[in-house]
């Protein structure tokens, strides 16, 4: 069995990757601004976005699904718990709302993980590889607690999932803890809804 050495990239390579990353971020910010400015025009012309047209005033299962996916992405955080509660208050089925929001949120977490996974080589070029491997050891030791806890509370679990993709965390463990944490979170919201209805 041969040994592999981890080589640090040169300063010139790190600068190239940094400039390319800044360029991509600027493009994403410009796209986000354009979409935000023209959201109502775009949503009225695209049929599946009409479910979100009413905003938080009319939340059906379709709107809950799209909100779960979009709000679950690390770069578009959204008020998922409030949308879920409003959907229940407007008469959506408790069972189907629970299934839809959990499924949509899980799909968003899969997307977050794989974006981080694909960008891990770029991050390795920007950050010291020694620090990345230290972070990976720390995440392997304490990551399960953070994943479970941040998925129970309305915390930055989306960013954590993205970061775990960068460190190439065990996907099966991540999925299990994400699903369990979200089941508990939305079951608690259902309990509050039933209690104060």
pLDDT in tens, the chain (197 residues): 455 545 566 677 777 767 777 777 778 777 767 766 665 666 666 665 555 544 445 678 888 888 888 888 877 777 788 888 888 888 888 899 999 999 999 999 999 899 888 888 777 777 666 776 777 777 777 778 888 888 888 778 888 888 888 888 888 998 999 999 999 999 999 998 888 87
144 in a domain, yes or no? yes
- What is the rounded distance in angstroms from the CA atom of residue 147 to the CA atom of residue 32? 28
DSSP-derived 3-state class of residue 134: helix
CA angle, 123 as apex, 149 and 147 as ends, to 5°?
A: 10
- What is the rounded distance in angstroms from the CA atom of residue 60 to the CA atom of residue 5? 54
6 in a domain, yes or no? no
Q: How many C-beta atoms lie closer than 10 Å to residue 57's C-beta?
A: 8
146 in a domain, yes or no? yes
2 in a domain, yes or no? no
19 in a domain, yes or no? yes
Closest C-alpha to 123, from 92, 91, 70, 166:
166
139 in a domain, yes or no? yes
Domain count, the chain: 1
Contact 167, 139 (CB under 8 A): yes
5 in a domain, yes or no? no
33 in a domain, yes or no? yes
Question: Which domain range does residue 149 map to?
Answer: 11-195
Mutual angle of helices 80-89 and 94-126, in 10-degree steps: 170
């Amino acid at each position: 069995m041969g040994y592999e050495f981890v080589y640090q990239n040169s300063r010139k390579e790190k600068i190239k990757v940094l400039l390319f990353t800044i360029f991509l971020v600027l493009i994403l910010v410009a796209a986000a601004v354009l979409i935000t400015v023209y959201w109502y025009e775009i949503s009225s012309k695209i049929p599946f976005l009409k479910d979100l047209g009413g905003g938080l005033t009319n939340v059906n299962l379709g709107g809950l699904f799209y909100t779960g996916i979009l709000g679950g992405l690390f770069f578009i955080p959204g008020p998922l718990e409030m949308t879920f509660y409003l959907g229940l208050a407007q008469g959506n089925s408790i069972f189907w709302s629970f299934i839809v929001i959990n499924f949509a949120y899980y799909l968003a977490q899969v997307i977050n993980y794989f974006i981080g996974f694909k960008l891990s080589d770029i991050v390795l070029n920007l950050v010291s590889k020694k620090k990345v491997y230290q972070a990976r050891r720390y995440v392997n030791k304490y990551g399960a607690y953070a994943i479970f806890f941040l998925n129970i509370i309305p915390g930055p679990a989306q960013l954590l999932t993205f970061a775990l993709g960068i460190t190439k965390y065990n996907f099966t463990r991540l999925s299990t803890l994400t699903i369990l944490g979200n089941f508990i979170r939305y079951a608690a919201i259902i309990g509050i809804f039933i209690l104060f209805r």
